Amino acid sequence: MELNKRMKTILAAVVHRYITTAEPVSSSIIAKEYNLDLSTATIRHEMYWLEKYDYLWQPHTSAGRIPTDKGYRFYVDNLMIKRYLKENEKREIIQIYKKNKELEETMKITSQLLSKLTHNLGVVLAPIIYDDLVRNIQFIPVGNNRVLTIIVTDTGLVCQKLINVSGEITKDRLSYLSNLINNKLTEKDINIINLKKILKDELDKILSFQERFNYIYDFLEDCLNFKSLKNKVYLDGRTNIMRQPEFNETIKLNYILSIIEEENILANTIRKCLGFRKIKVIIGKESKLKEIQSCSLVTSKYNIKGKPAGAIGVLGPTRMDYSRMISIVEYVSDKLSDILSEF
């Protein structure tokens, strides 16, 4: 059924009111608060048809109505008016990103920003870098059998890993290894995955028989193991979820907390959301995940020097302020793309 203009107006009012109050919305409230120049009886009649065609539902016979997933979807696609961030919010985001930070800290700060601005769960998927070309690598001893590995990729990303080694590796040996690698990098383009194989072949030629089977190989394996970043997720705002009235029920809350802990599942869900459109909104059961069917997810891709790199998102109840969530996610993804491209 195609909604008429009056139905659309009433649906928009119900969504707005429910987002604001988290209370079922009655026809009398709509008549009183939204100045639609319609009688309570007319509003009630239209709400009946909206319920019949699954845009609204009534949790109790004596209560008002609340939007369904279908109602939210129609609202987001057809009725929602886009809102923009306030200038002071934009300045705050820009100021935070102005400081020169390494990748790990930038990811954490982004999830914190999303959580703070939306009062929901901020989610950031780290960029997939193991296919990136390596431009430079350095090994810096930091004492107590620990080595800081710094890798610079072709996108300009600076990735750092602190490695614990089982044996002593001298500063000279570390310098030799980094020079060996960097010389190979000047000869041809090599990504992280291929670099490990090339190094193994080269080390077989220069290391003694004993060294081939000791911690040198283990050390380099740890240094270049970035595959785990494929589903690396940075989260902030778990307590925001717990404060939402929808999740007062222990069962619902446990469902959501369980999916938050299963980072791989959450990461894969977000990656599946990404398509040709920059912003994607997944509402309730559209996610196909039982654990978050009472939630919505607003996601956006971010780029590094024009190359798709990762994604950010906001997870919260289906009763979220979609216009604001979309504006925040869109703006933050743009700024994140800018800062990562400047590394």
Single out the residue of 314, 336, 294 nearest to residue 157, CA to CA: 336
Residue that is written with structure tokens 């989610």 in the block:
123
The pLDDT of residue 122 is 94
Per the structure block, which two tokens stand in for 121? 């769960």
Per the structure block, which two tokens stand in for 9? 């107006």
Per the structure block, which two tokens stand in for 248? 């007062």
| 3-state helix, strand and coil shares in percent for the chain, rounded to the nearest 5 | 55, 20, 25
Per the structure block, which two tokens stand in for 322? 């979609």
Per the structure block, which two tokens stand in for 161? 């890993």
* 55, 61, 63, 65: CA torsion to nearest 10: 0
The pLDDT of residue 112 is 94
CA distance 312 to 112: 11
Domains parsed from the chain with CATH numbers: 5-79 (1.10.10.10), 87-128+229-341 (3.30.450.40), 134-225 (3.30.390)
Per the structure block, which two tokens stand in for 131? 């296919």
In this structure, are residues 271 and 125 in contact, taking their beta carbons and an 8 Å threshold? yes
The pLDDT of residue 204 is 64
Q: What are phi and psi of 139, to 5 degrees?
A: -120, 120
**Residues above pLDDT 90, as percent of the chain:** 41
Single out the residue of 327, 320, 299, 286 nearest to residue 67, CA to CA: 320
Residues 288-321: tens digit of each pLDDT: 888 888 899 999 999 888 888 889 999 999 999 9
pTM: 0.79
**How many CB atoms are closer than 10 A to CB 34?**
17
CA distance 221 to 224: 5
Q: Which amino acid is at 60?
A: H
Write the Ramachandran bin of 163: left for phi over 0, alpha for psi from -120 to 50, otherwise beta.
beta
CA distance 257 to 250: 10
The pLDDT of residue 213 is 42
CA distance 60 to 24: 9
* 148-154-159 Cα angle (round to 5): 25
Q: Which residues contact 1 (CB under 8 A, 6 or more apart)?
A: 49, 53
CA distance 286 to 181: 47
Single out the residue of 118, 16, 68 nearest to residue 284, CA to CA: 68
The pLDDT of residue 209 is 43
Which residues, listed in sequence order, are joined to residue 151 by a DSSP beta bridge? 137, 159
Full pLDDT tens readout for the chain, 343 residues:
789 999 999 999 999 999 999 999 999 999 999 999 999 999 999 999 999 999 999 988 777 999 999 999 999 999 999 888 999 999 989 988 877 667 788 899 999 999 999 999 999 998 876 667 888 888 888 877 778 888 888 776 777 777 777 666 778 878 887 888 888 888 878 777 777 677 666 666 655 544 544 555 566 666 666 555 556 789 999 888 888 887 877 777 777 787 777 777 788 888 777 666 789 999 999 988 888 888 999 999 998 888 888 899 999 999 999 999 999 999 999 999 998 887 6
Which residues, listed in sequence order, are joined to residue 150 by a DSSP beta bridge? 138, 160
Q: Which residues contact 63 (CB under 8 A, 6 or more apart)?
A: 24, 26
**Cα radius of gyration rounded to whole Å, the chain:** 26
Q: Which residues contact 183 (CB under 8 A, 6 or more apart)?
A: none
CA distance 253 to 245: 10
Single out the residue of 105, 311, 310, 139 nearest to residue 224, CA to CA: 139
